[in-house]
Structure 1
Amino acid sequence: LTMFMLLLASATFAQNPVTGKVIGGKDKQPVPGATVTVKGSVAATQTDADGAFRINAPEKSTLVITAVGFTTQELTVGKQSNLIATLEETSTSLDEIVVTGYSAQKKKDLTGAVSVVNVDQMNKQPTASIADQMQGQAAGVTILGSGQPGEAPQFRIRGFNTFGNNSPLFVVDGVPTTNIADLNPNDISSLQVLKDAGAASIYGSRASNGVVIITTKKGKGKVKVSYNGYYGIQSPKSGNVFDVLTPQEQGDLKKLAIKNTADRSGTAPNFSDALYGNGATAVLPDYILPVGAMEGSAAVNPDLYNINPNYTSSAEYDAFYRITRANKTGTDWYHEIFKNAPIMSHDVNVAGGSEQGNYLLSFNYFNQQGTLIETYNKRYTVRANTSYNINKHIRFGENLAFSLQDNPRIAILDEGNPVSMAYRQHPIIPVRDIMGNYAGTFGPTGLGQATNPVAARERSINNKGLGSRIFGNVYGEVDLLKHFTFRSSFGGEYYSYNNRSFNYPTYENQENGQTNSYNEGMGNGYNWTWTNTVNYQQDFGDHNVKVVAGTEAFAAGGQDMSASARDYFSFDPNFTNLSTGASVNGAPGSGRYAESLYSLIGRLDYSYKGKYLVGATVRR
């Protein structure tokens, strides 16, 4: 005890009061609010308005000083009692240039809420979707999605504003768009999120859910050829994901339910069950079809087996003789539809530049096989960005991207989606019957009406979702006078798509669709935006004034059509089209749309001594 008290006293007396000051930046100004911590302990304090601090710390201990916008520094406590810590500004300092509405500003001059995403860190995530890469990269930005390959990004900036569309406006190289799903993440140079009305209002009502501003890369320096690629394996969750009972446990549970119901009503339990036997304890059958049959039963005659998966008549369907062996160990339906899947990306770009201009040419191939079987996204992207300086006052350039995509999508939220069916399907049902055709709920009662999710996915193997898109802009800039710059940009997109699918007749389910049908839809559309702005910037002593004024015209249009046919005698994908079906499956549909918008835009930013900021925006 005495020794312990001596050690405690020694430790206590070793705590020395240490004072100091934290300064930072090129001008070595005090840094208020910096956190000073004794490394390896919970002792901590913050600097006051003059950057000063006081903390108790043992001799030879280490002080860790951190502050927003500065690098972390460590100092060793010696015999001196007064320390000076000089912090260096980080690359995310307030002098960082941020692209906002129709201009660029220093971060310290912003009056709205803007998040700057670290693109290099974002691109370390191997995915084709910018939405997936942005997850967790910007405060207040939530990304929602099912994980389906090629899924359109669902951005939520500061929560949900309405029960309808909550997607933000995307602006790529100054051109507004609603689609960035085919944008190659490797082509991105900077990305900012405008989160509040002060930052986004210059874009008008289209920015009610926020704005995501994306700038693509430019070339610089000597000619450089670079390659960036990866290959990986995506793995679904392992184990009993749905926490499903075994077939024996399900049978026992059903028998227990019968007993409990009888006990409550005061009657004798009727344990009779076509699938689990007539006793109080469930006995699993060897076969589901014929219902409840055991091995050696005369009802199980493989010679009578008769199923034609590509049947075309009800009479043929009625003559089927099915034999399905029970899976007594249980079918893991989750892992029957979710498998390990490869993902790869190959990106090559050529870039360079000089005082006269710069250029960048990039090619990207991306292939993601979904962990859900028979889902994938294949994308080819080409980008060409160039800019030229005629002289020091006149500049022009273009940003152009073309993409091809093969991405058959599934309605993941529909009631009959494969994930829902895998959850509902009984584990006693195998994926296939004794002859390799699909098995399902057909036959015995009590197995529900879920469909075979493996069958649903494998029957979609020839479905296609093809799309192409060209997107970009051309622009010119002229320095008119000493403080004025005029910029004109004309950009937009043209896109087309074609979707086709074939619905096979089913035979394995409790409720079967006996009609085959083919569906096809296609469409195309365009939009263009013409923006003309004048930027004015000038300093008057301690006063700085920035003005942006201009006009913007927008127009869009498109058309689509869809049709369906049925009763095909051949299911060969090279044969099935709208003209080879025996009859029309409902009336064809078509539609078209057109819209336009013209706006006057303006913004004023005023600062006094770089500390007091006022901003005003108008758009009408």
Structure 2
Amino acid sequence: MTKIYKQTTAHYRESIPIKRRTLFNALLKNIYCCLFLLIPIAASAQTVVTGTVKDEKGLPAVGTSVTETDVKNGTSVDPNGKFTLTLKGKLRVLNFTLVGYKTQKVTIGASNVVNVNLEEDLNKLNEVVVVGYGTQRKTDLTGSISSIKSDDLNLGGTTSNIGQAIQGKAAGVQVQQTSFAPGAGMQITVRGGNSINTTNSPLYVVDGFISDNGSTINPNDIEDIQILKDASSAAIYGARGGNGVVLITTKKGKAGRVAIDLDLSNGTQYLTYKPTLLNGQQYTAIQNATAIEDGKPVLFPPSFSIANTNWLEEATQQASVHNRSLSISSGDQNSKLYVSGNYINQKGVLKGTGLEKYTARIGAEKSLNERLKLGANFYGSTSKLFQQSYSADITAPLFGLLTAMPNIPVYNADGTYFRYQGKNNPLASLLEPTNTSTNKLANANISLDYEIIKGLTYHLGGGAEYTNLNEGQYIPRTLTAGAVNGE
């Protein structure tokens, strides 16, 4: 019999016989041991899948990407066509992807062994791409070429040039924004840094016509882009193609009824990060304490009226972007016509900056007979850029705003800009000067194609390009430099 002893004193206590406590402790030890032994069993319960991937000819499909459907987990096929993958998800479905072949989804069986034969995607391999003066099928290509169709471009919003349209769309092509200002250019590098004295930008060829302003074309007018990345481009275009070649084919309309496309997009831009700056009281206290430590009189006596000005808030805004595109296309078996217009108005996050641009394009083709075809293209644009440096160098307005004294006001009582010790108001240094750039561009080209025999065509083309760039700066009397010059 098990007895329980109780002591009813001020300190309550229960005691359990030693035999019963020993059995209880032994049971706990056994449970802990079992759990400890089950840990490596649970860890080794992961499923490992192996297999081989081959093409239609039975050769190893080297470079095939093998991924799970429900989680971010994958591997690639080795030179022997084999792969090994430890599953992390629950669906047990693998995706096999290789450029030029159809993507396959395979459900893993009980054996955890998967063998796949990829099937060629003839629609992609038979695509015709432009290579210099002619065209080839992808299956016949030996050079390095990236082909981007109009449906794959980044369009709408703030996209106003080729660089923004192809960013992230062409393997091996680096696209970097040169500035965060509206209308800033994009640095496109195809073959790396080949020169330290001149530009590394590629050569632009629009509809067979070499253009110095090909990067500014309206992306909505592009039918496709071919980027020649290897040295073979130099064999066609000479030294000008040493940095790579970007071949742009614009839209010409399609046979059928008239098609009208309207693209409207609006957006906003704002600062994602704003540094924490001192307020007026904090700045005043620090400056006065520093002056006292140096044995100098305080800079701001008690009679000084302290303001709390956040100069960065005063100089920035939530900017709006408006992009409008309209195109009309029509055609039949012998004629094609495409007309388009684009308007973009982008205000900068930094006040006083912005871009306003108008573009227009006309493209036409006419088959005069079975052998003779005539083509013509016209492109015109005008843009006005309101500029300010978005960098924080010592000469830029942004540097003056970040280092301005927060204990002085922006304006006087009469609405004029407040000046302290004769220095320019940092907001006035941003808003008062005029720094504009107006660019007018027009180019036109005409071509004639005559098919001598099947597979041999004589192409005759010619064109001209006009560019007018005007830049103007004006410093008014509200600034110190303008007052000195009497402007």
- The TM-score bracket by the shorter chain reads 0.7 to 0.9
Please say if residues 280 and 408 of structure 2, whose CA atoms lie closer than 8 Å, have aligned partners that are also in contact.
no
Corresponding position of 1:274: 299
1:42-80, Cα deviation, whole Å (9 max, x unpaired): 986654667455667799732332333445432212346
The structure-2 alpha-carbon separation of the partners of 1:400 and 1:432, relative to structure 1 and needing over 3 Å to count, comes to: same
Superposition deviation, residue 15 in structure 1: 4.9
- Distance in 2 between the 1:516 and 1:71 partners? 72
Matched ranges for 1:554-593 at <5 A: none
SS in 2 for 1:387: strand
For residues 66-110 of structure 1, what are the alpha-carbon distances to aligned partners after superposition, in whole Å with 9 as ceiling and x for unaligned?
333445432212346764535455699454433232222334544
Which residue of 469, 478, 484 maps to 1:514?
A: 484
The Cα RMSD (Å) is 3.6
Q: CA deviation at 1:41?
A: 7.8
Q: Distance in 1 between matches of 2:80 and 2:59?
A: 9
- The corresponding residue for 2:3 is none
Paired residue secondary structure (1:33)? coil
Describe the superposition over 1:523-575 as per-residue Cα deviations: whole angstroms up to 9, x where unpaired. Answer: xxxxxxxxxxxxxxxxxxxxxxxxxxxxxxxxxxxxxxxxxxxxxxxxxxxxx
* CA displacement, residues 313-354 of structure 1 (integer Å, 9 cap, x when unaligned): xxxxxxxxxxxx542x3x222232221121111111111233
CA contact (8 A) 1:32 1:48 kept: yes
Change (3 A) 1:340 1:89: farther
For 1:267-306, what per-residue CA distance to the aligned partner results, in whole angstroms no more than 9, with x for missing partners?
xx4141232x4xxxxxxx5xxxxxxx34xxxxxxxxxxxx
* 1:53-72 to 2 correspondences below 5 Å: 61-72=92-103
Question: How much has 1:412 moved relative to structure 2?
Answer: 5.8
Q: What is aligned with 2:212?
A: 178
CA distance in 2, matches of 1:80, 1:367: 61
Query: Which structure 1 residue ranges, 5 or more long, are not aligned?
Result: 263-268, 278-284, 286-292, 295-324, 444-448, 518-620
Q: 3-state SS of the aligned residue for 1:495? A: strand
Shift in CA distance, 16/208, structure 1 to aligned 2, threshold 3 Å:
closer
Separation in structure 1 between the aligned mates of residue 455 and residue 70 of structure 2, nearest angstrom: 54
Match of 1:583 in 2: none
Q: 1:253 to 1:211 in 2, by over 3 A?
A: farther
Residue in 2 aligned with 1:208? 242
Paired amino acid for 1:438: Y
How much does 1:437 deviate? 0.6
Paired letter, 2:324: H
Question: Are 2:281 and 1:248 equivalent residues in the alignment?
Answer: yes
Residue 97 of structure 1 is matched in structure 2 by 128
Instruction: Count how many residue pairs are aligned between Structure 1 and Structure 2.
Output: 449
Q: Is 1:430–1:439's contact at 8 Å kept on the other side of the alignment?
A: yes
Aligned amino acid, residue 452 of structure 1: N
TM-score by length of 1: 0.63
What corresponds to 2:253 in structure 1? 219
C-alpha separation between the residues in 1 aligned to 2:279 and 2:116?
Answer: 65
Instruction: Tell me the secondary structure at the aligned position of residue 407 of structure 1.
Output: strand
Q: Tell me the residue number matched to 1:595.
A: none
Displacement of 1:398: 0.8
Alignment of 1:433-448 (within 5 A): 433-443=412-422
Question: Alpha-carbon deviations, 1:8-27, whole Å to 9, x = none?
Answer: 65885785765454446xx7
* Matching residue's letter, 1:495: T
Q: Deviations over 1:560-602 (max 9, x none)?
A: xxxxxxxxxxxxxxxxxxxxxxxxxxxxxxxxxxxxxxxxxxx
Alignment partner, residue 134 of structure 1: 166
- How many angstroms does 1:458 deviate by? 3.1
Question: Which residue matches 2:263?
Answer: 228
SS state at 1:273 partner: coil
Question: Counterpart of 2:425?
Answer: 452
Secondary structure in 1 matching 2:428: helix
Mapping of residues 159-558 of structure 1, within 5 Å? 159-160=192-193, 161-180=195-214, 182-222=216-256, 223-240=258-275, 243-255=276-288, 257-258=290-291, 269-275=294-300, 277=301, 293-294=303-304, 326-327=306-307, 329=308, 331-410=309-388, 416-443=395-422, 451-460=424-433, 465-506=437-478, 513-517=483-487
Looking at structure 2, the residues matched to 419 and 14 of structure 1 have their Cα atoms a distance apart, in angstroms, of: 56
- Residue 529 of structure 1 aligns with which residue? none
Q: 1:371 to 1:460 in 2, by over 3 A?
A: same
Q: Whole-Å Cα distance in 1 between the matches of residues 244 and 189 of structure 2?
A: 9
Helix, strand or coil: the match of 1:250? helix
Task: Pick closer, same or farther for the CA change 1:164–1:387 going to 2, 3 Å.
Answer: same
**Residues 373-418 of structure 1: CA distance to partner in whole angstroms, max 9, x if unpaired?**
2222222222111111223322111111122223344466785432
Deviation at 1:186, TM superposition (A): 0.6
**Counterpart position of 1:280:** none
Q: Distance in 2 between matches of 1:213 and 1:457?
A: 40
Q: Which position in structure 1 is the counterpart of 2:105?
A: 74
Cα separation, partners in 2 of 1:57 and 1:231, compared to 1, 3 Å = closer
Q: Is the 8 A contact 1:187 1:217 kept in 2?
A: yes
Structure 2 runs not aligned, ≥5 long: 1-32
8 Å CA contact retained: 2:267, 2:320: yes
Change beyond 3 A, Cα 1:7–1:230: same
SS in 2 for 1:31: coil
Equivalent residue letter for 1:228: D
For residues 188 and 106 of structure 1, the distance between their equivalents in structure 2, rounded to whole angstroms, comes to 20
CA distance in 2 between partners of 1:246 and 1:345 (Å): 39
Residue pair 1:151, 1:181 contacting (<8 A) in 2 also: no
Q: Per the alignment, in what secondary structure is the counterpart of residue 336 of structure 1?
A: helix
Q: Check if 1:85 corresponds to 2:116.
A: yes
Shift of 1:442: 2.9
Change (3 A) 1:471 1:483: same
**Contact 1:18–1:57 (CA<8 Å) still a contact in 2?**
no
Q: Secondary structure in 2 aligned to 1:142? A: strand
Q: Is the 8 A contact 1:101 1:200 kept in 2?
A: no
**Contact residue 288 and residue 299 of structure 2 kept, 8 A:** no
